[in-house]
Amino acid sequence: MLNKVQIKVRGYHLDIFQHVNNARYLEFLEEGRWAFFDDFGGVELMEEGIAWAVVNININFRAEAGFGDTLEVQTRYIKLGNRSITMKQTIINTQTQDLVAEADVTYVCFSKTLKAAVALPDDLRQKIEQAIADSE
C-alpha cells in the first residue's frame, strides 16, 4: 500500500534562505505517516494501550522546496520485524517532479502499560506483510 498526502508550502515553513527549513520536513513526514495510519489502520491500537514509538529516522535531502510549492508525501511499509516496522517515505515536488527528500522511519510496537516494546499482534503483522508484498 502506498499512501499519498499533499502539503502546500507556507511562509512559516521557510528559513532565512527562503526554502523549507530542514526541521519542517520531520513535520511533513509525520503528517504523511498519520495519513497512512488513518487509511491503513493501526490507530485503534492506542485504545488498547499500544503505541508506535519512533526509534530511528534517516532523512536524505535531495532538492529544495520553496514558498507555494505543493509537496506530495508518499508513505509505505518496507520492512517488518518481530516488534518493529520500517516505512519508506518520499517527498516529491508536484510541480517539478523533483525528489525533495526521502526517509526511512523505524517504529517499535510499544506497550504503555509495560513500558516496553512488544510483539506486533498477529492480525496486524499479517496485514503489514500483505501490504509489503503488494508494494514490491
Residue numbers annotated as active site? 15
Q: Quick one: DSSP state of residue 120?
A: P
Count of C-beta atoms within a 10 Å radius of residue 28: 22
Count of C-beta atoms within a 10 Å radius of residue 23: 9
Among 98, 96, 97, 99, residue whose Cα is nearest residue 88: 99
Q: Quick one: DSSP state of residue 121?
A: P
Is the separation of the CB atoms in 35 and 75 below 8 Å?
yes
Residue type present at position 12: Y
